[in-house]
Amino acid sequence: MNSIPYAQPSIGEEEIQEVIDTLKSGWLSTGPKTLQFEKSFAEYVGVKHAIGLTSCTAALHLALLAHRIGPGDEVIVPSFTFAASVNTIIHVGATPVFADISEHTYILDIEDVERRITLKTKAIILVHYGGYVADIDAFNALAKKHGLVIIEDAAHAVGSERKGKQVGSFGNTTCFSFYATKTMTTGEGGMVTTDDDAIAEHAQNLRLHGMSKDAWKRYAKGANWRYEIVAAGWKYNMFDLLAALGIHQLKKLPSFIDTRRAYAEQFKEGLGKIPGLILPPDSSDIRHSYHLYPIRISGGRRDGFIETMANLDIGTSVHFIPNHLQPYYRERGSKEGDLPITEKVFSEIVSLPLYPKMTPEEVSHVIQATKKALA
Ligand SMILES: *Cc1c(COP(=O)(O)O)cnc(C)c1O
């Protein structure tokens, strides 16, 4: 069997033709394809506004800005997430406050979150880790009680559902990623979704220099050359070359997720009875997209496992090295022992390769290799 990389995108002829069509159209930046992708994405999720961006990092940054979070404010965030969920809080001048996760779901532990709320707390960044969906009803109730905003980091959770509803349709503001390893990809790219007109308008202005809406049309034939700068905005606009990929990736998303779920089932059958091995969480309330397939290996064997798998030519990855243990955040005062569950889970966790481009035989191969590496 050939080597199995940790992640690979599924790009088909449709995406390739759409990119060629975009190149030939002469319009490469934000334009008709971006509008089309945004419209289809909003329809898919079941939300009023979808604003295309160049990354989920940009989405998180704009979501915080649109909610007027800034200096003096505290934002509660898991440490067990990608750096972007935390760095963007720094970008707006606010203070990240790390909270621990549930040992079962790897999602923020709501009781620990509540303990960390102060008069300065303005928002919670809720990460739907691995494609599992947080109990949003409980978090919305907590936010209401304390007057907080919830910003969902759904970088892993495009297409995941809770109680039959898509992620992005039940929170105030949700941020998605289309990075190359994500469930659907535009290479680099992201989206922020909301039902709130004011938040949408603010994010829309800020994504392109603070120009008032639709200013990107100024180079179109017959367009008005006048524009107004209403804020010192950023340069985060999704553009048609990316959207060309997104349009077709979105159409394929349901089948991508079906395949991921089938492979997760195959993993469960193959690895379900191994002592000391914990498989990813699931729940009857959710339709898990299995963006990740994180397993936990007890007894200090995780690092050796990664090495053995690499020797068997199988890529793995660790999601995530806790942010509170990173040098930048240590300098700001966090330290080992602050978040016991996060630290324990981090020492045991490793993500196996799982993506639609794999064949069932490759999944079997990963299962056999995992058993061998654990033996
Ligand atoms: C990938 C990722 C991001 C950042 O996404 P980009 O599109 O690369 O900016 C944010 N949060 C989480 C949890 C991620 O995994």
Q: What is the pTM of this model?
A: 0.97
Distance 23 CA to ligand 1 centre (A): 27
Query: Per the structure block, which two tokens stand in for 187?
Result: 């290479």
Contacts of 80 (CB under 8 A, 6+ apart): 101, 106, 127, 129, 320, 322, 339, 342, 345, 346
Distance 196 CA to ligand 1 centre (A): 23
Mean pLDDT of 286-305: 97
pLDDT value at residue 294: 98
Which residues are registered as beta bridge partners of 295? 350
Q: What is the three-class DSSP state of 196? A: coil
176-216 pLDDT, tens digit per residue, is 999 999 999 999 999 999 999 999 999 999 999 998 767 66
Measured in Å, residue 78 CA sits from the centre of ligand 1 at 14
The reply to whether omega before 320 is within 30° of 0 (cis) is yes
**Can you give the pLDDT at residue 11?**
98
Given its phi and psi angles, is residue 239 left (phi above 0), alpha (psi -120 to 50 degrees) or beta?
beta
Q: Is 186:243 a contact under the CB 8 Å cutoff?
A: yes
CA of 375 to the centre of ligand 1 (A): 34
Tokens standing for 278? 């914990």
The CA distance from 243 to 349, in Å, is 34
* Radius of gyration (C-alpha) of the chain in whole angstroms: 21
134-158: pLDDT as tens digits: 999 999 999 999 999 999 999 999 9
If one residue of 179, 186, 236 were mutated to test the ligand 1 pocket, choosing by the most ligand atoms within 8 A of its CB, it would be: 179
182 is catalytic: yes
Best residue for ligand 1 mutational test, from 51, 54, 57 (most atoms within 8 Å of Cβ): 57
Atom of ligand 1 nearest to the CA of 84: 10
Backbone angles phi, psi at 337, to 5 degrees: 100, -15
From atom 2 of ligand 1, which residue's Cα is the shortest distance away?
A: 155
Average pLDDT over residues 336-361: 98
Residue 106 Cβ < 6 Å to ligand 1: no
Q: Residue 265's pLDDT band (boundaries 50, 70, 90)? A: very high
Containing H/E element for 59? helix 56-66
> Minimal CA–CA distance to 134: which of 285, 317, 341, 23?
285
Q: Which of 182, 213, 235, 268 is catalytic?
A: 182
Could you give the angle at the alpha carbon of 187 between the alpha carbons of 212 and 174, nearest 5°? Answer: 55
User: Is 57 near ligand 1, meaning CB less than 6 Å away?
Assistant: yes
- Assess whether the C-beta atom of 80 lies below 6 angstroms from ligand 1: no
**75-94: average pLDDT:** 98
Q: Is 84 in the pocket of ligand 1 (CB under 6 A)?
A: yes
Pick the atom of ligand 1 nearest to 188's CA: 7
85 Cβ closer than 6 Å to some ligand 1 atom? yes
